[in-house]
Every structure is written in C-alpha cells, then in structure tokens.
C-alpha cells in the first residue's frame, strides 16, 4: 500500500492512499493509553464500506504504514472474506 508521509515520517492528515482498489483518507489523530500506561497517538482513517456505502473509521499506529486496513464497516465486518468491487 502506498502511503504519503510528512517529513516526520507519519502520514499527513488528508493523505489519500489506495489498498486493493479501496480508497482511504487520514482524517486526524486520537490519543490512546497503552496497557503500560503510556499515552500514544493513533491515526484515524476513513473509508467507505463496499457493502452498504456508509463511511466508517478505524485506527492504526500513527507512524507506520497501513498494512491490512479494515475493508468494511463494523456492521458488515467479514475477516478473511475478499472485497469484490463491481466490474472487477
């Protein structure tokens, strides 16, 4: 997956990436307290569910590239099942 990054190494807000034909946009960051008590920042990503068309958000590490992003909204979540777009 291609990831546009800022000079700090993390993806820029509004950076658009495409993973297997599905578009994702970074819309911000969110503070998160880890199990060890340290506070870290997560990237907030937005995409559109290929099943129902609704926008959904998910989180990833702020500084690493998306590897296997969520492909569907929480209602239509189906781990391991391929996403097939119309016409392809």
- Give mean pLDDT in consecutive 10-residue pieces for the chain, a chain of 88 residues: 38 69 90 95 92 91 73 81 65
The candidate with the shortest Cα–Cα distance to 25, out of 63, 62, 57, is 57
Q: Which tokens is 13 given? A: 């807000």
The candidate with the shortest Cα–Cα distance to 56, out of 23, 80, 32, is 23
Q: Which tokens is 49 given? A: 């569910």
- pTM, to two decimals: 0.66
Contact present, 49 and 82 (Cβ < 8 Å): no
Domains for the chain: give ranges and CATH numbers.
1-64 (2.30.30)
């Amino acid at each position: 997956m291609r990831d546009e990054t800022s000079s700090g190494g993390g993806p820029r807000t509004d950076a658009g990436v495409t993973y297997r034909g599905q578009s994702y946009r970074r819309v911000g960051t969110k503070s998160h307290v880890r199990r060890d008590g340290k506070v870290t920042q997560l990237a907030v990503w937005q995409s559109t569910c290929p099943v129902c068309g609704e926008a959904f958000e998910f989180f990833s590490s702020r500084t690493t590239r998306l590897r296997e992003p969520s492909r569907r909204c929480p209602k239509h979540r189906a781990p391991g099942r391929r996403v097939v777009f119309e016409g392809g």
